[in-house]
Structure 1
Amino acid sequence: MDNGIFEGLKVLDCASFIAAPAAATVLSDFGADVIKIEPPGAGDPYRNLPNLPGYPVSPHNYAWLLESRNKKSLALDLGKPEGQAVLRRLAAQADVFITNFPPAVRGRLGITYEELKPLNDRLIYASFTGYGEKGEEANKPGFDSNAYWARSGLMDLVRADLDTTPARSVAGMGDHPCAMALYGAIVTALYRRERTGTGSHVSSNLMANGVWASSVLAQAKLCGATFQQRHPRERALNAVTNHYKCRDGRWIILSLLNEERQWPALARCIGREEFVTDPRFASKAGRHARSVELIKIFDEIFATKDLAEWRRILDGNGLVFGVVGILDDIPDDRQMLENDVLVPFEGDGMLTINSPIWVDGAKKKQPRHPPGIGEHSDEVLRAAGYDEASIKQLRAAGTVA
Structure 2
Amino acid sequence: MTDAKPLSGIRVLEVAAWTFVPAAGAVLAEWGADVIKVEPREGGDPQRGLVTMGLIPGGPTAVNYMIEMPNRGKKSIGIDLLTPGGQEVVHELAKSSDVFLTSYLPSRRDRFGIGVEQIRAVNPDIIYVRGSGYGPEGPDADRPGYDGVSFWSRGGIADALTRELPEPVMQTPAFGDLMGGLTIAGGIAAALYKRKATGETSIVDVSLLGLAAWAMTPQVTAANLYGGDPIPTFTHREMPNPLVGNYKTKDDRYITLMMLQGDKFYPEFMTVIGRTDLITDERFAEGHARFENRGELIDIMDEEFASKTVDQWREILKPLSGAWAVLQKTSELHEDPAVIANGYIPEVKAMNGKPYILPTNPVQFDGHHVVPTGAPEHGQHTEEILLDAGVDWDKIEQYKQDGSIL
The answer, yes or no, to whether TM exceeds 0.5 is yes
Cα distance in 1 between the residues matched to 2:131 and 2:324 = 36
What letter matches 1:325 in structure 2? Q
Equivalent of residue 375 in structure 1, options 365, 375, 380: 380
CA-to-partner distance for each residue in 1:107-143, whole Å, 9 max, x for gaps? 2222111221121122111110000000001111111
What SS class does the counterpart of residue 338 from structure 2 fall into?
helix
Cα distance in 2 between the residues matched to 1:365 and 1:310 = 32
For residue 160 of structure 1, report the CA deviation from its aligned partner: 5.9
CA-to-partner distance for each residue in 1:199-256, whole Å, 9 max, x for gaps? 2211111001111111112111222267155333344343221101111222111101
**2:23, 2:70 within 8 Å by CA — same for their partners in 1?**
yes
What letter matches 1:17 in structure 2? W
**Aligned CA distance change for structure 1 residues 247 and 360 (closer, same or farther; 3 Å):** same
Say yes or no: does 1:308 pair with 2:314.
no
Cα distance in 1 between the residues matched to 2:143 and 2:189 = 27
For residue 317 of structure 1, report the CA deviation from its aligned partner: 2.0
The match for 1:101 is 104
Equivalent of residue 220 in structure 1, options 211, 219, 222: 222
For residue 307 of structure 1, report the CA deviation from its aligned partner: 1.1
**1:160, 1:233 within 8 Å by CA — same for their partners in 2?**
no
The match for 1:194 is 196
* TM-score of the superposed pair, with normalisation by structure 2: 0.92
* TM-score of the superposed pair, with normalisation by structure 1: 0.93
Number of residue pairs the alignment of both structures matches: 399
Cα distance in 1 between the residues matched to 2:357 and 2:174 = 18
The match for 1:387 is 392
What SS class does the counterpart of residue 403 from structure 2 fall into?
coil
Unaligned segments of structure 2, at least 5 residues: none
Say yes or no: does 1:180 pair with 2:186.
no
CA-to-partner distance for each residue in 1:282-333, whole Å, 9 max, x for gaps? 2222322333333332222211111121121112221211121102212222
Bigger mean CA deviation after superposition, 205-214 or 113-122: 113-122
Say yes or no: does 1:28 pair with 2:39.
no
What SS class does the counterpart of residue 97 from structure 1 fall into?
strand
What SS class does the counterpart of residue 14 from structure 2 fall into?
strand
Cα distance in 2 between the residues matched to 1:268 and 1:52 = 55
The match for 1:83 is 86
**2:12, 2:101 within 8 Å by CA — same for their partners in 1?**
yes
Bigger mean CA deviation after superposition, 225-234 or 133-142: 225-234
The match for 2:14 is 13
Cα distance in 2 between the residues matched to 1:241 and 1:373 = 49
**Aligned CA distance change for structure 1 residues 316 and 199 (closer, same or farther; 3 Å):** same
Say yes or no: does 1:289 pair with 2:292.
yes
What SS class does the counterpart of residue 358 from structure 2 fall into?
strand
**Aligned CA distance change for structure 1 residues 295 and 320 (closer, same or farther; 3 Å):** same
> Cα RMSD over matched residues?
2.2
The match for 1:170 is 172
What letter matches 2:336 in structure 1? D
Say yes or no: does 1:356 pair with 2:362.
yes
Say yes or no: does 1:71 pair with 2:77.
no
Cα distance in 2 between the residues matched to 1:61 and 1:115 = 34
Cα distance in 2 between the residues matched to 1:228 and 1:21 = 35
**2:248, 2:255 within 8 Å by CA — same for their partners in 1?**
yes
**1:152, 1:211 within 8 Å by CA — same for their partners in 2?**
yes
The match for 1:276 is 279
What letter matches 1:209 in structure 2? L
The match for 1:205 is 207
The match for 2:343 is 340
Cα distance in 1 between the residues matched to 2:387 and 2:142 = 35
Say yes or no: does 1:254 pair with 2:257.
yes
Equivalent of residue 62 in structure 2, options 54, 59, 64: 59
**1:123, 1:198 within 8 Å by CA — same for their partners in 2?**
no
For residue 50 of structure 1, report the CA deviation from its aligned partner: 5.3
**Aligned CA distance change for structure 1 residues 104 and 288 (closer, same or farther; 3 Å):** farther
Cα distance in 1 between the residues matched to 2:387 and 2:192 = 26
What letter matches 1:338 in structure 2? A
**1:31, 1:364 within 8 Å by CA — same for their partners in 2?**
no
Unaligned segments of structure 1, at least 5 residues: none
**1:38, 1:373 within 8 Å by CA — same for their partners in 2?**
yes
**1:30, 1:364 within 8 Å by CA — same for their partners in 2?**
no
Cα distance in 1 between the residues matched to 2:49 and 2:240 = 45
Cα distance in 2 between the residues matched to 1:51 and 1:274 = 62
The match for 1:141 is 144
What SS class does the counterpart of residue 174 from structure 1 fall into?
helix
**Aligned CA distance change for structure 1 residues 364 and 305 (closer, same or farther; 3 Å):** closer
Say yes or no: does 1:299 pair with 2:305.
no
Cα distance in 2 between the residues matched to 1:131 and 1:51 = 30
What SS class does the counterpart of residue 242 from structure 1 fall into?
strand
**1:31, 1:365 within 8 Å by CA — same for their partners in 2?**
no
